[in-house]
Structure formats: C-alpha cells, structure tokens
C-alpha cells in the first residue's frame, strides 16, 4: 500500500514541498521514505500504538456533540467507531483503511459555520451510488448527486450534521490525466 502525503523539510518554504511515499501494513511500524531532495533525513519510522489509528494522515473534525456525531456518521456513511475517549471528548472512527478523529467543540475549536466551506474530506468507496442511497435514506444533506467525471471517478457530496462536507468517490476507470487536462508529475508505479 502506498499513501502519498505532503512533507516540507525544516526551514523550507512551501514551494519546496515534495511528496513522501509511505509503505505500511496495518498495525505495523510505518516506514516513510522522503522523495524530497531538500530533506536531510533518509527515512524514518512511525511506531505502532493501539491508542491512535494505524494510518498516516488523520483529520480531526470538531463537533458540538461527539456521541451524536459518532452515531450519525455510522448510520449515514457506515463509519465504525474504533475508540471512545471520555463521555463526549473524542472518538476515533475507522473509514475503510483510513481514520478520522471527532473532537468536542470548545472556545477555540468550532465546527464550520453554516454556508462556510473550509475543507472537504474525500473518501474512496466501492459503489458511490449505493453509498449515496444509504446517506440519502438516512437524511444526509446531499449537496451533489452522484456524477461521473472525465477523470474516471463517480462522486457525490454530502454534508454531515455539523456542516462538514464529505466527497465520496468511486473509481470507474484508470484514466490518463493527460486525457482530461491533468499533468501527472510523479507516477505511483
């Protein structure tokens, strides 16, 4: 499995950002090999810890009621709770082979304001139409119905109970980015 994440070496400006490729079986140490010529370290290892999801990138999203959000995200999107921390403090959810952390709102942590878009979380699914139907039937606010795009993905967008936007995407075909105007900078192969 290869996961791409952004990495900036210490003291580097944002235009020097390069990708790092992460290779890790679940529940084992994660070995990270920088592809950045500006980075001083060859590789580094992230240790396994049962108290944190075994993935590289973990979004932390703020909710006014964490327990309600766990239930809602499970019913609407099929997420599974991995760990509860306190009565309403935090929760870790499994999302396929990824994860998300839900955190309670506080004076300096707030969910999005209505009509305000600060981020979207993209989740790959096997069948976007079936996933859409589950979310729709549960009452999720659908912002975009399943739509096929020239880059080989079928996607829909839903908003959760706190206003976070989720893009669910199904791969329909492996499409060369040049076919739709993209410019592939680095191959995964």
DSSP state of 112: P
Separation of alpha carbons 174 and 166, rounded Å: 22
Tens-digit pLDDT string for the chain (189 aa): 333 333 333 333 333 333 333 334 444 555 544 444 444 445 556 778 889 888 878 999 999 999 999 999 999 999 999 999 999 999 999 999 999 999 999 988 999 998 888 899 999 999 999 999 999 999 999 999 999 999 999 999 999 999 999 999 999 999 999 999 898 887 766
Give the number of residues written for the chain.
189
How many CB atoms lie under 10 A from the CB of residue 35? 12
Measured distance CA(52)–CA(43) in Å, rounded: 21
| φ/ψ of residue 72, rounded to 5 | -65, -50
Tokens at 91, concatenated: 């929760």
pLDDT attached to residue 126 = 94
pTM, to two decimals: 0.69
b/e burial code for range 46-67 (CB count within 10 A of at least 16 → b): eeeeeeebbbbeeeebbbeebb
Of 122, 127, 124, 180, nearest to 151 by C-alpha is 180
């Amino acid at each position: 499995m290869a996961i791409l994440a952004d990495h900036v070496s210490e003291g580097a400006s944002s235009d020097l950002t390069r990708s790092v490729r992460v290779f890790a079986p679940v529940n084992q140490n994660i070995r990270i090999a920088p592809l950045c010529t500006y980075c001083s370290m060859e590789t580094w290892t992230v240790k396994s810890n049962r108290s944190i999801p075994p993935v590289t990138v973990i979004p932390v999203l703020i909710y006014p009621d964490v327990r309600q959000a766990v239930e809602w995200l499970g019913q609407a999107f099929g997420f599974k709770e991995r760990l509860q921390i306190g009565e309403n403090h935090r929760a870790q959810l499994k999302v396929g082979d990824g994860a998300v952390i839900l955190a309670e709102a506080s004076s300096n942590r707030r969910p999005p304001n209505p009509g305000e878009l600060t981020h979207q979380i993209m989740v790959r699914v096997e069948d976007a139409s079936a996933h859409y139907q589950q979310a729709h039937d549960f009452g999720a606010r659908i912002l975009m119905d399943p739509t096929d795009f020239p880059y080989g993905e079928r996607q829909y967008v839903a908003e959760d109970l706190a206003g976070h936007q989720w893009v669910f995407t199904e791969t329909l075909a492996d499409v060369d980015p040049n076919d739709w105007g993209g410019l592939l900078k680095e191959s995964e192969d």
